[in-house]
């Protein structure tokens, strides 16, 4: 069953993708133990059948396991899908599961590209993001390295993740940036201040990750939820019970609008993002077919200007509690 999922273009780049992509990190990494590989291959192929053409991964997810999963699952559809992956972390040379710092030196970027091409079973990376800005490497050198890879036909498009507006401008001057990826949702609205206006001016697309607030905005998580020890959310200030109790007001707001639109809380959260700009492409993640179909359904929900105004007015009265990340990770964002 292929449905006609709406398409969107990321900025002025001519990179056309499904209006909703699929964030794949949680299949292998970060949200509890990795899911069953065969089940995830089936889920990825089900996403393609349902019109999803945009898939997001990174070298560091696993490490390596998530790229390998996508390489295997999407090989039969390679000409029909866009795969985004990322560089920029230094991995444990002893093969440990953790990254040990940042590394965006040009020679490292080129090494990562070769590894990603092999794991993704492809001869070109559609969109190559710098995962986090490396303060030790000028962004001009990073953009130049990706420009070389584009010239060599190994990469098609350049992206940045969690970058500040001035950094985006400097990178874009060397190699046009196709997309910027940052966390953005009703409970994380930082990009609205400087990043989104800069992207609009420069003609760059925006890819919100964690558009459902790492699951919180679905209404399925509350202060009584207990997370597995391998679940990254255990360490996030915003998932402390007190913060979740305070932030429940946002979920209640989404549920109210959802009841009126015959839509789920998650669908309203995604429809709100789609309603912000025509060049925004959220990438909700899931490991369940039911949730994939629910998320895809958000693309068909029409929020009027009046609906959006109502949501914004109500949300502006809710003060979101808790930092997005613990301090050592927060420092890596917005550079």
Across 254-270, b (16+ Cβ under 10 Å) vs e yields beebbeeeebbbbbbbb
DSSP 111-129: HHHHHHHHHTT-S-EEEEE
Q: Which residue, 189, 223, 216, is CA-closest to 316?
A: 189
Across 306-331, b (16+ Cβ under 10 Å) vs e yields ebeebbeebbeebebbeebbeeeeee
Residue 67: φ, ψ to 5°: -60, -40
Q: Give the C-alpha separation, 208 to 283, whole Å.
A: 6
Instruction: Give the CB-side neighbour count of residue 114, counting CA atoms within 13 A.
Output: 5
Q: Does a cis peptide bond (omega within 30 degrees of 0) precede residue 63?
A: yes
How are the residues of the chain apportioned to helix, strand and coil, as percentages rounded to the nearest 5?
Answer: 45, 15, 35
**For residue 160, what is the enclosing H or E element?**
strand 155-161
Q: Is 61 a catalytic residue?
A: yes
Q: Which two tokens stand for residue 244?
A: 């979740």
What Rg do the C-alpha atoms of the chain give, in angstroms?
A: 19
Question: Which of 61, 129, 184, 209 is an active site residue?
Answer: 61
Give the active site residues.
Answer: 61
């Amino acid at each position: 069953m292929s449905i006609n999922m709406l398409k969107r273009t990321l900025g002025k780049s001519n990179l056309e993708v499904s209006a909703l992509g699929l964030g794949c990190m949680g299949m292998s990494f970060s949200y509890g133990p990795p899911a069953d590989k065969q089940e995830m291959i089936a889920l990825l192929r089900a996403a393609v059948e349902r019109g999803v053409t945009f898939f997001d991964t990174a070298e560091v997810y696993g490490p390596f396991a998530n790229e390998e999963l996508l390489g295997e699952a999407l090989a039969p559809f390679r000409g029909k899908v866009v795969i985004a992956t990322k560089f920029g972390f230094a991995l444990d040379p002893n093969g440990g599961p953790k990254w040990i710092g940042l590394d965006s030196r040009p020679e490292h970027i080129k090494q990562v590209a070769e590894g990603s091409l092999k794991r993704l079973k492809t001869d070109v990376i559609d969109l190559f993001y710098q995962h986090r800005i490396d303060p030790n490497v000028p962004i001009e050198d990073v953009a130049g390295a990706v420009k070389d890879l584009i010239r060599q036909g190994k990469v098609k498009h350049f992206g940045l993740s969690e970058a500040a507006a001035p950094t985006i401008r400097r990178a874009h001057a060397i190699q046009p940036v196709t997309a910027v990826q940052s966390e953005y949702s009703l409970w994380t609205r930082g990009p609205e201040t400087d990043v989104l206006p800069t992207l609009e001016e420069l003609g760059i697309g925006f890819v919100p990750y964690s558009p459902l607030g790492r699951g919180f905005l679905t209404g399925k998580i509350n202060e009584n939820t207990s997370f597995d020890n391998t679940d990254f959310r255990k360490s996030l200030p915003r998932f402390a019970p007190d913060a979740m109790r305070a932030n429940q007001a946002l979920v209640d707001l989404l549920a109210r609008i959802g009841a009126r639109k015959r839509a789920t809380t998650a669908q309203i959260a995604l429809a709100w993002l789609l309603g912000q700009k025509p060049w925004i492409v959220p990438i909700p993640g899931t490991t369940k077919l039911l949730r994939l179909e629910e998320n895809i359904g958000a693309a068909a929900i029409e929020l009027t200007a009046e609906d959006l105004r109502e949501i914004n007015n109500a949300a502006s009265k809710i003060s979101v509690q808790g930092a997005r990340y613990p301090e050592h990770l927060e420092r890596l964002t917005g550079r």
